[in-house]
A = this chain, B = another copy of it.
Amino acid sequence: MSRSSVIAPFQTERHDHSSCRRDALARAEDICLRKGLRLTELRRRVLELVWSGHEPVRAYDLLDQLRGERRGAAPPTVYRALDFLQEHGFVHKIESLNAYVGCAEPADRHGGQFLICRRCKAVAELDDPAIHDTVQRRAEASGFLVQGQVIEVTGLCPRCAADPAAPQPHAHEH
């Protein structure tokens, strides 16, 4: 058996998410220290907010939260922090949702493959070589030079598929 390609699996309803968040921040701090990157207070806080759950977070939701904490927060505030975090692999953008999720394995650069639950909104991240290589090979078969892959699969996570009536612990409030 090779290692699982699931690098951020769907979570059980009552997992200890504070440890997810803590681990992600610790990893980011470690990587920035080793690479000489500046994980400033703002960038650290935005990463922490993105890790408030396993659902993609929208930029203006982040902005609303920042406005409650920081004088003068504006769209560029959050987009610049997100740019930094994306550039160094700490968060991914979900193109089909215009929203952002934390990456659980930022150490190695990867495009990311995402399973997005339509019902509970949770996202799991794969880094499956079979998917990556198949896409790469079939694109090259058309003479195309591949530089990046966007792979976003929508559907139902195991829990929502099993019990469509179950509560949705992570659903956004509106």
Contacts and interface: CB of A to CB of B under 8 A. Distances in A.
Interface of A: 5-6, 9-10, 95-96, 113, 115, 117-118, 124, 126, 128, 130-131, 134-135, 137-139, 142-158, 161
B151 A150 contact: yes
Nearest to A144: B115
B118 A142 contact: no
B131 A115 contact: no
Contacts of A134: 130-131, 134
Given A9-B142, A161-B143, A161-B145, A135 B155 contact: no
B150 A155 contact: no
Contacts of A143: 10, 157-158, 161
A154 B147 contact: yes
A5 B138 contact: yes
Contact of A147 (B118, B131, B138, B145): B118
Nearest to A138: B128
A155 B145 contact: yes
B142 A6 contact: yes
A126 B155 contact: no
Contacts of A139: 115, 126, 153, 155
Contact of A138 (B117, B130, B149): B130
A5 to B, nearest CB: 7
A144 B131 contact: no
Contacts of A149: 151-154
Contacts of A130: 134, 137-138
